[in-house]
Amino acid sequence: MAEQEEEPIAEGEFEGDVPAEGDEELMINGDGGEEFDALQEEEVPEEGEEPPAEEEAPAEDEELPPLDEDGEPAMDEAEAAPEEPEADVPAEEPEPEVPVKEEEDEADDGEPVVEEHLKDAVEGSLRLKRLLSRDDTDIPGKRQKLNGGDEAQRPIHQAKVKQLLAKWNMKTDSVVKHVLDNMSFDELRHMSDSNFVPDRWNQRKSPSELVAAQILDMKERKLGGGSRCDVVGAFKNRWKLDREKETKLRALTHKDLRYVISKFDGKMPLEDLITEASAEFADGDGDSTIHACPDRPGVKTMGRFNRLELIDPLADCAVFGDANLTFAMLLAKHRKELGHVGRVIATTFEEVETLRERYKEIDQSIQTLEEHHAEVYHGVDCTRIAIDPRFQGMEGKLGAVYYNFPHSGAIGGFFDSHPMVNWRHENLMRLFFRALRSFVKPGGCVKVSSNSSAVGVRYSYIVGSAIENEFIHVETMPFLEWHLHRYGRSYGDRRDVYKRPDAKNNQSYNAQSAVADMVYCFEFAPSDKTLPKQQIRMPPTLKTLQECKDGPFRNLSGQSKVNLANQLHERFMKEVSGIHVG
């Protein structure tokens, strides 16, 4: 799926939207998801029912009962003798209490059964559906709890939101409030301490877009740029090294640089590790490509491994969101020429009937893949492979994963960067990498290609989501330098029937420059620690949609505006339920 910024469709237009360009239109959630049980409500007395009265203290002049030897009130013999129950009347047994299902622990009967070790891989997707289906417009704290927020921090968080809205004179702007509600407290404090004030008269962007762009700019300055970044540059960013240490690393040979990058943990001084690496003898294992050319320049040699796609020959690999399967065919042929025995698992989001309508060559492509011993799966949601029976038994077996130009589909009238729709793109990457944790083997590689200036699935969403799920950023290389870049790129929607990007001439998608297309490379390095629940970007409530004044809502009012909000909310529900739209 391509990352691009389309011109908005005519205001008020919604149905029949054309999704954004790319290799595959991927939705946030997949098939089979059902919402969890409702939150347990507090028990309150029914109307007319009085709370139990407190016991009255005995009056001062009231005669107290005598005490026994143990200091307890003494009883008469009649009171001490237990009454025998009547033989004809059986003792009533208390009714068994019906356990109340906890929202986080129990699922509805229609919820797909998830094995215990895979629950973490799909929990975020199920929680996202609950956020939309519940639509708790009147209880923001409840939505925050569903998102794993810290309840103790909510009052001060809400106070800071109100302070900013008052400072900007935007107390009635529900969309700006939605953006602020999605921020962490540190981000809110940064916004408050800065002199930033959104320009309400900006001709190109609404105040909500300006606020979202401001906080994204702060995040991306810490993360680094999205353009070319070699192995030493990525290693420097990861460990916060200075320029002097970076210079030493760039002077190392292939053998020494690979040794330092694989062994450095921040405990031993880098200089000592470089000395240790130089004393190591080159491994004589001729069957391993990582030990080839030990004396060649380290940066260029390690970069060649990513560009030539020299992956584990024994491990399986998976391709997600490959609309016309041309990339999977190119990869399968590449692996066969290298003598690999690992399988290629090619997946599409659409079913094969839809693919036949768009790509007349799809049956031939499937046949070619099967001749190369590849497997083709249709209707696959890469964020929910943990509940896809076709991936059962593949835990920890994928040595390489590919996802080219991810996108969640465009909404007519909105740019991809608008907060009302951008949450879908960010959640796509967060849930994708969390799902991969259970299926990629340690040391396995993941490559996600995208445009560095994309405003839908931003590069920071890709890199940030990977890092928080223990996928190390290894390198960012230009897409045109990749050995596998010449495949038949497509838009991943109905436009593919009459037009597609020209792969032979290195044509990119609309509103994107081909030289800005990048491949973000990662390596899975899991630790022994348990990761927290996957944070997701909260979707807008139906009330927020109804009060929106941007994009297709600009010139609408009354019932027509309510109808459009309901249509948009219904579309979001379909997307997170795995129903294809567009």
pLDDT digits 0-9 by tens, 418-440 = 999 999 999 999 999 999 999 99
Q: Tens digits of per-residue pLDDT, 455-508?
A: 999 999 999 999 999 999 999 999 999 999 999 888 777 777 777 665 555 555
CA distance 177 to 164: 9
Contact 23, 322 (CB under 8 A): yes
Q: Mean of the pLDDT values across residues 97-108? A: 43
What is the number of other CB atoms lying within 10 angstroms of the CB of residue 281? Answer: 7
Confidence of residue 386 (pLDDT cuts 50, 70, 90): very high
On average, the pLDDT of the chain sits at: 81
Alpha helices in 231-378 (DSSP H): 231-239, 243-250, 254-263, 270-279, 298-308, 326-337, 352-358, 362-371
Cα-only R_g, the chain: 30
pLDDT of residue 200: 92
Q: Rounded to an integer, what distance in angstroms lies between the CA atom of residue 274 and that of residue 266?
A: 13
* Contact present, 420 and 175 (Cβ < 8 Å): yes
Q: Residue-wise over 246-275: b if at least 16 C-beta within 10 A, else e? A: eeebbebbbbbbbbbbeebeeeeebeebbe
Q: Evaluate if residue 3 carries a pLDDT over 50.
A: no
Read out DSSP for 368-406? HHHHTT-EEE-S--TT-GGG-GGGTT-TT-EEEEEEES-
Helix, strand, coil distribution of the chain in percent, nearest 5: 40, 10, 50
Please enumerate, as own/partner, the contacts of 289-293 that have beta carbons within 8 Å and a separation of 24 or more.
290/258, 291/255, 293/254
Spatial distance between the Cα atoms of 531 and 485, rounded to a whole number of angstroms:
34
Tokens of 354: 């839809």
pLDDT of residue 181: 94
> pLDDT at residue 97 above 70?
no
Q: Which residue has the higher pLDDT, 286 or 459?
A: 459
Report pTM.
0.79
How many angstroms separate the CA atoms of 491 and 160, rounded?
Answer: 42
Q: CA 531 to CA 553: how far, in whole Å?
A: 40
∠43-47-52 over CA atoms, to 5°?
A: 65
CA 82 from chain centre, in angstroms, equals: 65
Residues 26-49: tens digit of each pLDDT: 443 344 443 434 333 444 444 444
Region label for 413, one of left (φ > 0), alpha (ψ between -120 and 50) or beta (otherwise): left
pLDDT surpasses 60 at 75:
no
Q: Mind giving me the DSSP string for 514-543? A: GGGEEEEEEEE---SSPPPPPP-PPPPPHH
